């Protein structure tokens, strides 16, 4: 197992290198000039040239890339072009809202989606099954920002139950934290409920047709025990896979959700950085998001060993 983990970590190095190169070239080759944003509309060509020189944007692209990679290897993510603050400090200050939203979303999604998928498979072809599949279709079809604005209109504007926007740390109290995080969580959760419930239903349908499930029924075991111990337990691998992928995808989903609900998280920081052409911030955020994908995939593979004893890594 240890050798496999080391191999996966080593294999992730060229992947992260390719991501770094792609992001760097994409930002440099697309239209937009950070110097023009910093200097304003009334800046003279001489002022723009001076700003580009100060930011190092006049160096050849390969020199800029080499300098950036050298700083990364020393743990230096650079300094924001716009604010002048260290990028790692800016990201660290925005992590709590993003992590809170991601954890509450994936937790609520699992609690709701897995039982829904199990029930839909158990009641295949009934009105319950069709209802669960209808919810899944809605979750996949409706954009997150539309769901967010609808919830704001209903629960904030009309009913007045929850605040429209903002974030409160859990250190300020569970109540204020829950009030601020509930609407963003519900908006983002619908998509992942649809994803996890469909995979759970499909996996359960395959397992329910196996001989050992029929044998369990023939022994007189209760329906609940058959579903939970014999069926759900044996389709845990694809369910855990999609949960892990869903958790990684949440990192991209929070960009829209945090913008809708004005949460001061990494997603909102990314939007602001893109609009301002703040190269160091954008590069650091994308690299960290890619690292999350790599780590989550590694954890999923390790979890397979504990979920299915037949799986062994040499």
Domains of the chain, CATH where assigned: 2-73 (no CATH), 88-307 (1.10.3720.10)
In this predicted structure, the answer to whether residue 314 has a pLDDT above a threshold of 60 is no
Query: What pLDDT score was predicted for residue 75?
Result: 78
In this predicted structure, the answer to whether residue 103 has a pLDDT above a threshold of 80 is yes
Distance separating alpha carbons of residues 213 and 219, to the nearest angstrom:
10
Cα–Cα distances in Å, from 57 out to 39, 51, 80, 95, 224? Answer: 15, 9, 14, 29, 64
Q: Shortest CA distance to 98 belongs to which of 16, 167, 192?
A: 167
278-296 residues labelled b (16+ CB within 10 A) or e (exposed): bbbbbbbbbbebbeebbeb
**How many other C-beta atoms lie within 10 A of the C-beta of residue 247?**
21
Distance separating alpha carbons of residues 304 and 314, to the nearest angstrom:
14
Mean pLDDT, the chain, rounded, equals 79
Query: What pLDDT score was predicted for residue 247?
Result: 74
Of residues 276 and 199, the one with the higher pLDDT is 199
Instruction: State whether the Cα torsion 212-218-219-222 is positive or negative.
Output: positive
Distance separating alpha carbons of residues 188 and 192, to the nearest angstrom:
7
Tokens 């190095």 -> residue: 13
Q: Shortest CA distance to 239 belongs to which of 67, 114, 61, 57?
A: 114
Of residues 40 and 84, the one with the higher pLDDT is 84
Tokens 């995939």 -> residue: 297
Most confident of the following: 154-168, 222-236, 293-307: 154-168
pTM of the predicted model as reported, rounded to 2 decimal places: 0.78
Query: What pLDDT score was predicted for residue 37?
Result: 64
User: What pLDDT band is residue 134 in, cutting at 50, 70 and 90?
Assistant: confident
Mean pLDDT value of segment 39-55: 70
In DSSP terms, which residues pair with 79 in a beta bridge? Answer: 86
State both tokens at 136. Answer: 């899944």
- 3-class DSSP state of 79: strand
State both tokens at 291. Answer: 């690292």
> Which of 47-51, 118-122, 168-172, 281-285 has the weakest average pLDDT?
47-51
User: What pLDDT band is residue 297 in, cutting at 50, 70 and 90?
Assistant: confident
Compute the residue count for the chain. Answer: 314
Q: Shortest CA distance to 197 belongs to which of 78, 258, 113?
A: 113
User: What pLDDT band is residue 307 in, cutting at 50, 70 and 90?
Assistant: low
Mean pLDDT value of segment 190-200: 84
182-217 residues labelled b (16+ CB within 10 A) or e (exposed): bbbbbbbbbbbbbbbbbbbbebbbebbeeeebeebe
What is the percent of the chain with per-residue pLDDT over 90, rounded to a whole number?
0
Query: What pLDDT score was predicted for residue 40?
Result: 64
């Amino acid at each position: 197992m240890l050798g496999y983990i080391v191999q996966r970590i080593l294999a992730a190095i060229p992947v992260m290198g390719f991501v770094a190169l792609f992001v760097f070239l994409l930002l440099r080759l697309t239209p937009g000039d950070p110097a023009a944003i910093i200097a304003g509309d009334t800046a003279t060509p001489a002022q723009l040239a001076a700003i580009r020189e100060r930011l190092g944007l006049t160096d050849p692209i390969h020199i800029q890339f080499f300098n950036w990679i050298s700083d990364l290897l020393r743990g230096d993510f650079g300094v924001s072009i716009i604010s002048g603050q260290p990028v790692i400090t800016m990201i660290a200050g925005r992590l709590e809202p993003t992590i809170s939203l991601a954890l509450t979303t994936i937790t609520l999604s699992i609690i709701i989606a897995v039982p829904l998928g199990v029930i839909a498979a158990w009641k295949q072809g009934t009105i319950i099954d069709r209802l669960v599949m209808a919810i899944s279709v809605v979750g996949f079809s409706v954009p997150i920002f539309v769901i967010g604005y609808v919830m704001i209109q209903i629960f904030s504007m009309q009913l007045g139950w929850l605040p429209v926007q903002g974030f409160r740390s859990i250190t300020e109290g569970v109540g204020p934290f829950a009030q601020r995080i509930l609407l963003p969580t519900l908006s983002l959760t619908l998509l992942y409920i649809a994803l996890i419930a469909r995979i759970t239903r499909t996996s359960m349908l395959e397992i329910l047709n196996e001989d050992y499930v029929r044998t369990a029924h023939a022994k007189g075991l209760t329906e609940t025990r058959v579903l939970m111990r014999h069926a759900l337990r044996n389709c845990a691998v694809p369910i855990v896979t999609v949960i892990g992928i869903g958790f990684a995808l949440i990192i991209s989903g929070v960009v829209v959700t945090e913008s809708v609900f004005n949460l001061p998280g990494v997603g909102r920081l990314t939007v602001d950085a893109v609009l301002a052409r703040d190269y160091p911030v954008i590069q650091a955020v994308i690299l960290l998001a890619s690292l999350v994908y790599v780590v989550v995939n590694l954890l999923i593979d390790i979890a397979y060993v504990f979920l299915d004893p037949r799986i062994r890594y040499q």
